[in-house]
Structure 1
Amino acid sequence: MIANFRTCYANALDEAEMEINFYKGFPDIPGYRGSISEASTLKSMKLEYQLVGPGRMACVKADAKDLEFTPTQLVEVALKFYLDVAEKQKA
């Protein structure tokens, strides 16, 4: 699993994004040597950090705007996402 968090501004969360990717094998990442065999992406999820209500920020799934998570809930979502991928790999 590789999680990538990006922000456009150093002092604000406007347009902040998080991408979670699950791989079979270790992908080539700048500064790290990947695995000998080529890695393949099993599943990925993109999230945006947005203002969803008065004074309420949440992580929103980019392809399903009705799914929103607090930062604490995001950990549970990422773990469930991983377990779903692992279960499919067993079968």
Structure 2
Amino acid sequence: MNDNHSPSAWSTYSRTVFIASAAIALALIAYEHRVHVLGILPWLLILACPLMHLFMHHGHGGHSGHDHAGHAAGTIQQKTKETNDV
């Protein structure tokens, strides 16, 4: 027989069977180990607090090195200029 397509290591059937069995295996592993995962969640919440503190405070004065007082003065000057134009 002469096939027009190149032979593949993974046929459609083989790929479908592999994906289905991998999904079933992952579901069974997740079901069996849910107690371990749920036991770790409180510790992950405690760990998230210092990480959020480190990564989310970059916009406050003193950490970024910008002069926020100058930015505030610039907005005040802009507002007074807009009110004078009206």
TM-score of the superposed pair, with normalisation by structure 1: 0.27
- Greater helix fraction, Structure 1 or Structure 2: 2
TM-score of the superposed pair, with normalisation by structure 2: 0.28
- Say which structure, 1 or 2, has more relative contact order (CA 8 Å, 6+ apart): 1
Q: Which has the larger radius of gyration?
A: 2
- Greater strand fraction, Structure 1 or Structure 2: 1
